[in-house]
Amino acid sequence: MPDRPPTLHDVAKHAAVSTATVSRVVNGGPVAEPTARVVRDAIRTLGYVPNPAARGLITGRSDVVGVLVPDLVGPLNAAIARGVEDVLEAHDKLATIMTDHRDEAREARRVATLVARRVDGLVLIGSHLDDAHLRDLVGDTPVVHVGAERPPGADGIPEVRIDNAAGIDAALGHLAALGHRDVAHLAGPRRDGAERRAAMHDLAPRHGLHLRAVVDTDFSEESGRAAGATLLAEGDATAVLCANDRVAAGLYAAARERGLSLPRDLSVVGFDDLPWSGYLDPPLTTVRQPGRALGRGAAARLFDPDAGGELAPVTPDLVPRGSTAPPPH
């Protein structure tokens, strides 16, 4: 054999068949099983590896799905991407992952790049693009959202997202069962933050709880510390439900600065269940976002584009840990 990678022509010559027959075997076309077996044996013997680009020209598929994430730092984004990969592997496809840093113009450029590379589909995590703009960019390429930032009620493109109200409901029920009556909320930005804030206002009275204060954060630890200091200066609440775990970690710092002991003096609940949340002191009671399940649901929808209808929101679970206890007497 020549000192070069084997080609489709080499396989055809070795198997004594036409190159068209080899192509059909490689691409899953109709070939009699005895002939297909001879071709597969030749492929193994020669170590032939099909050229994905050339195969894509024949099949119209790249066997690659584009995954666009806000960043590669957040554990939740990583879990969602891992869930997408779970499904892609089962379909013998690969993921190309890009970041947009929550910049709408950058996101549009990344989407256009992925479409130009003929990806078989797109999973957009935390997208800021409205449906009309996105459809102009993707054409016929299937696309599914995970936790998009588009306004509620947008339609046309399927979306997988967390049921924020269900998560807040579970957390408030937990605090009410412990005997709390006065709660506060460190609220977050963007669509998730707004949905969690709305759920606090709506659901706290149903659990017999008084929502004493709502203070804004930007989902970061430092904003949680600053907002927590403001909240604790008022001292009206015995429990605080935080917009996410990072904000809760900032509240821990603010509580320590005031000499408070958790959960003896104050109960704290987070939202997300990031990998380190159970290692805080005390371990953080939180609402677990099943990131991997979100990713799997999005990827599965790519392979069922005719399913129609909205995807049901994913219900999160409450994870009780040591940061919540009955209120101080």
Pairing between strand 143-146 and 159-160? parallel
User: Do residues 129 and 150 lie in contact, with contact meaning Cβ atoms separated by under 8 Å?
Assistant: yes
| Element containing residue 17 per DSSP (H, E) | none
Domains of the chain: 8-59 (1.10.260.40), 64-157 (3.40.50.2300), 164-289 (3.40.50.2300)
The pLDDT score that the predictor gives to residue 1 is: 47
CA-based nearest residue to 129, from 137, 121, 117:
137
The pLDDT score that the predictor gives to residue 328 is: 92
CA-based nearest residue to 190, from 163, 217, 154, 153:
217
Number of H helices, E strands in the chain: 12, 11
The pLDDT score that the predictor gives to residue 113 is: 92
Token pair listed for 184 = 């506060």
Cis omega before residue 290 (within 30°)? Answer: no
The pLDDT score that the predictor gives to residue 179 is: 98
Measured on CA atoms in the order 248, 222, 80, 131, is the torsion positive or negative?
A: positive
- Residue 164 carries which side chain, given as an amino acid letter? N
Per-residue confidence in pLDDT tens, the chain, 329 aa: 456 788 888 889 999 999 889 888 877 678 898 998 999 899 889 888 766 555 554 545 668 999 999 988 888 999 999 999 999 998 889 999 999 999 999 999 999 999 988 899 999 999 999 888 898 899 989 999 999 998 765 667 899 999 999 999 999 999 999 999 999 999 999 999 999 999 999 999 999 999 999 999 999 999 999 999 999 998 899 999 999 999 999 999 999 999 999 999 999 999 999 999 999 999 999 999 999 999 999 999 988 866 666 688 999 999 999 999 999 97
Residues 244 and 257: their CA atoms lie apart, in Å, by 20
Report the side by side order of strands in the sheet with 285-288: 210-216, 182-187, 239-242, 267-272, 285-288, 317-319
Looking from the CA of 108 toward its CB, the CA atoms found within 13 Å total 12
| Element containing residue 190 per DSSP (H, E) | helix 190-203
The pLDDT score that the predictor gives to residue 6 is: 85
The pLDDT score that the predictor gives to residue 273 is: 96
CA-based nearest residue to 166, from 249, 269, 289, 275:
289
